[in-house]
Amino acid sequence: MSEADASSVKLGDLVYAKIAGRIQSGEYAIDSRLPTENEFAEMLGVSRPVVREALARLRDSGVVVSRRGSGTYVQRRVTTTNAKPLTSIADMRRCLEFRVSFEGESAYHAAAGRAEDRDDLIVAVERLEQDRAGLRMEVNDDFAFHLAVARATGNRFFHDTMQGLRESIITAMGITPSFMQVRTPERLALLHAEHIAVFDAIMANDPEGARTAMRTHLNNAIRRVFDGVF
């Protein structure tokens, strides 16, 4: 990842945190309309794409909602968590190791759950398909997939825990490319195939297969980052 990309990731995190903080404090009350992208950009001294990314993350987590022709409105406050942000590369590895166990069980229960809880998962996979077609892997789309798996369990504690880890996971996803060689179409295809393996097992109501596929995906992430093996 280039220095410019790294700065973009950090700036996006900062803007997200500022807007989320104002919602959490009540400065932007529930049901109130947020400033426009242009207004936020001028207010925070950043570009519109950075603001757009932050608002997209808030929409994905259900904190804000966009109403056609009207603007973006606060829907609820940000879910709080006791999880501390990543502080080191060692922390990044610990986070991934935790995710192997936690998300493996999340995938298991998603596959054992109800089909009607999987709508968000289907949408998330469609977004990943679009990313693959564009030869990219957007961190927000990647996280949205993992969050949708947690939501598909039908158990709010899986979803809330995953949501609480969002900042650490997004940060790690943003840093990960700097540890790897340039992502070629072939490597992106392999990464996409890992996501699809999880999705297929869940849709096939195969809990053991889903658990194995998710654990394999996250163990491969550890190997990609720390062992240089794609």
Q: Give the CATH number, domain containing residue 156.
A: 1.20.120.530
The pLDDT, as a whole number, for residue 99 is: 96
Work out the number of other CB atoms within 10 angstroms of the CB of residue 226.
13
The pLDDT, as a whole number, for residue 126 is: 95
Same domain flag for 129 and 22: no
pLDDT tens for each residue of the chain, 230 residues long: 333 333 334 577 778 878 887 887 788 999 999 999 999 999 989 899 999 988 998 888 788 999 888 999 999 876 655 566 677 788 889 999 999 999 999 999 999 999 999 999 999 999 999 999 988 878 888 999 999 999 999 998 999 899 888 878 887 877 665 545 446 788 889 999 999 999 999 999 999 999 999 999 999 999 988 886 65
The pLDDT, as a whole number, for residue 4 is: 36
Amino acid at 203: M
Cα gap 10→70, rounded to integer Å: 30
Same domain flag for 54 and 138: no
**Alpha-carbon distance values, 19 to 54, 109, 155 (Å):** 8, 33, 28
Same domain flag for 128 and 46: no
Residue range of the domain that includes 147: 89-227
The pLDDT, as a whole number, for residue 1 is: 36
Same domain flag for 11 and 98: no
In this structure, is residue 154 part of a structural domain? yes
The β-bridge partners of 137 are none
The pLDDT, as a whole number, for residue 229 is: 66
| pTM (two decimals) | 0.65
